[in-house]
Amino acid sequence: MSHFPTPAQRRHRLLSVLLAVTCLLPLSHAAAQREVTATYQLGAGKTNVLDTYLSQEKFSGIGLTFLATREHRLPGRHWSTLVEHEFNYSTAHDRAETCREILGDYTLLMGRLRAWRIGRLQLQAGLMGSLNLGAIYNPSNSNNPAQARFSLQAMPTGAAHYDFTLFSRRLRLRYELQLPLLGIMFSPNYGQSYYEIFSEGNYDHNIVPTTLVAMPCFRQQLSVEYSIPRFATLRLGYLGNYQQAQVNNLKSHTYLHRLTIGIVKEFEIKRKTK
């Protein structure tokens, strides 16, 4: 004869299960230390722009860049996660100073890096994903005054830093490089208007696969860090971002040269892990 538990027995079993889960919660949400390096930089320098969809002329001017970087890792681990946010704004003029273009864009880079330590030298290598959104505006054009920017790229990444002492001060020399491997980008075709694309729905190879051949770009940073006691670490450096593309019978490039200054903060946080 089967035996069915009484209501009191069911309540007792439920209470036992809840008690067991409660006892396991601290184990499943144990706090893990995470080392974080956050950097905030402001840069200014020269910008060179060419976009044959808007004009056959090359434009040059001055621009500003804000760069926020966050790298975090578990203590004793070789792998780290690197996230970078880059905001750019530039105004540029043609050689005759009769036309101007305004450029603004945002780039998100996110990826994983593996580190190797050799004495005072640390090497890192990994893969990052890059998302770029932006636009160029040429107020002199009446039919097509603007060009949108959108691209997704897989970018092999390398970085290195070297710690040394100069005049009894601790310094760090750092270099970082990204190269696009493959991805996709948006581009109108030669002679195609945005009205045709978005209002009439005339697709003409506007989402284009890209490789290093069709989009030969690279991005690099070189910096020196100087520690200020009881404050932070000061970073002085150079940011070079060289974007080029030749798709749909159109050529474009954006060369950014920035001298940067910023601060570096290192701290630890506790993160609950499942």
The one-character DSSP state at 120 is T
- Within a 10 A sphere around the Cβ of 208, how many other Cβ atoms? 17
Domain 34-272 has CATH 2.40.128.100: yes
Q: Which residues pair with 240 in a beta bridge?
A: 220, 257
Q: What are phi and psi of 18, to 5 degrees?
A: -60, -40
> Using CA atoms, how far apart are residues 211 and 190, in angstroms rounded to an integer?
20
Residue type, 36: V
Tell me the whole-structure pTM to 2 decimals.
Answer: 0.83
Evaluate if residue 34 carries a pLDDT over 90: no
> Using CA atoms, how far apart are residues 221 and 86, in angstroms rounded to an integer?
12
CA 37, 42, 46, 48 torsion: positive or negative?
positive
Q: List, for residues 69-110, the tens digit of each pLDDT value.
A: 999 998 889 999 999 999 999 999 999 889 999 999 999 999
> Using CA atoms, how far apart are residues 268 and 71, in angstroms rounded to an integer?
11
pLDDT of residue 18: 41
Q: List, for residues 137-168, the tens digit of each pLDDT value.
A: 999 887 789 999 999 999 999 999 999 988 88
User: What are the residue ranges spanned by the domains of the chain?
Assistant: 34-272
Q: List, for residues 47-70, the tens digit of each pLDDT value.
A: 999 999 999 999 999 999 999 999
